């Protein structure tokens, strides 16, 4: 049965890939990515400084492999969440527009992240998103992996975005990279909330499987790229300058809240 399932899926992939491959878009820099995210800020890392996902990651699972069978199983289980609260959370996590994108972290860290209240942290989170997201595109552009909804013909949690998702490779997950990068930055600012912050960052990526927009292996490797992007940021002078200002800003907000 397992061999037959993989055979059927491989056949579906083969037919659909030939039909859709010509419309897959390549993105390598901020200017190109603004075609689908017009409000995107420039990141801290130059193109040459970004970690290269094509070099760092192994290829996505082959269609007839045990690893791909695991991807299929995760997706089958994820479809059971449709129309419940976890599916609604996945819908919220799909929105990378600011200030909405970071709202789910606010209740954990105990302060709002906004342009008016924490402008330095607000801008830093937007720029970190750009770097983490762009770090995934070397592999996305190369493998052009199809997404679960293109195989199982089930809706995603964001049907209005499916036309865009068709054009962007699935492996690795940019959302997972972004969510994990945010959590790695925030734990440095709020170390006493480390467990909760990392769980939120992890779940942010898991939402992409629940959404039927990514495979489990996409999400796992997205986290690898989120970590790689943050590692690069800690060697970037512009980021470090902003980091010092953000630490002061956050401490001032915390002090004012405790009075």
In our burial notation (b when 16+ CB lie closer than 10 A, e otherwise), range 18-57 reads eeeeeebbebeebeebeeebeebbebbbeeeebbebeeeb
- Helix 119-134 and helix 216-233, axial crossing angle in degrees, nearest 10: 120
Query: Which of 71, 131, 216, 218 does the annotation list as catalytic?
Result: 218
**Counting beta carbons within 10 angstroms of the beta carbon of residue 195, is it exposed (0 to 12), middle (13 to 18) or buried (19 or more)?**
exposed
Q: What SS3 state is found at 256?
A: helix
Highest mean pLDDT among 9-23, 36-50, 239-253: 239-253
Percent of the chain with pLDDT over 70: 90
Give the integer Cα–Cα distance in Å for 55 and 39: 29
**Counting beta carbons within 10 angstroms of the beta carbon of residue 107, is it exposed (0 to 12), middle (13 to 18) or buried (19 or more)?**
exposed
Helix ranges, the chain (H): 2-20, 30-33, 53-56, 66-78, 85-93, 103-109, 119-134, 137-143, 148-152, 162-165, 174-189, 194-210, 216-233, 237-257
pLDDT of residue 257: 78
Clarify whether 214 is annotated catalytic: yes
pLDDT tens digits along 151-194: 999 999 999 999 999 999 999 999 999 999 999 999 999 999 99
pLDDT of residue 9: 38
Residue with tokens 């949690």: 157
Q: What SS3 state is found at 189?
A: helix
C-beta separation of 125 from 21 below 8 A? no
What Rg do the C-alpha atoms of the chain give, in angstroms?
19
pLDDT of residue 259: 62
Clarify whether 208 is annotated catalytic: yes
Query: Which of 63, 126, 147, 175 does the annotation list as catalytic?
Result: 175
C-beta separation of 45 from 229 below 8 A? yes
**Per-residue pLDDT band at 31 (split at 50, 70, 90):** confident
First to last CA, the chain: 65
Query: Which of 127, 200, 214, 223 does the annotation list as catalytic?
Result: 214
pLDDT of residue 209: 98
Query: Which of 63, 145, 200, 208 does the annotation list as catalytic?
Result: 208
pLDDT tens digits along 212-258: 999 999 999 999 999 999 999 999 999 999 999 999 999 999 998 76
Answer with the residue of higher pLDDT: 257 or 197: 197
């Amino acid at each position: 049965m397992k061999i037959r399932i993989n055979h059927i899926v491989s056949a579906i992939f083969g037919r659909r890939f030939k039909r859709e491959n010509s419309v897959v878009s390549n993105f390598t820099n901020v200017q190109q990515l603004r075609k689908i995210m017009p409000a995107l800020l420039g990141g801290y890392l130059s193109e040459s400084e970004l970690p290269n996902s094509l070099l760092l990651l192994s290829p996505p699972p082959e269609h007839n492999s045990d690893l791909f069978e695991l991807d299929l199983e995760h997706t089958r289980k994820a479809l059971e969440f449709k129309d419940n609260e976890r599916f609604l959370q996945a819908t919220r996590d799909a929105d990378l527009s600011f200030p909405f994108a970071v709202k789910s972290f606010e209740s954990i860290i105990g302060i709002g992240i906004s342009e008016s209240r924490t402008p330095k942290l607000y801008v830093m989170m937007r720029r970190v998103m750009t770097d983490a997201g762009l770090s995934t595109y070397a592999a996305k552009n190369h493998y052009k992996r199809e997404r679960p909804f293109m195989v199982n013909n089930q809706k995603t949690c964001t049907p209005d975005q499916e036309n865009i998702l068709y054009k962007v490779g699935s492996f690795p997950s940019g959302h997972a990279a972004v969510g994990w990068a945010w959590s790695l930055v925030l734990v440095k600012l709020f170390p006493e909330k480390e467990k909760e912050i990392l769980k939120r960052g992890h779940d942010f990526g898991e939402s992409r499987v629940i959404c039927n927009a990514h495979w489990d292996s996409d999400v796992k490797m997205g986290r690898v790229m989120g970590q790689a992007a943050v590692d690069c940021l800690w060697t970037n002078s512009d980021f470090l300058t902003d980091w010092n200002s953000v630490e002061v800003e956050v401490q001032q907000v915390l002090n004012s809240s405790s009075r």
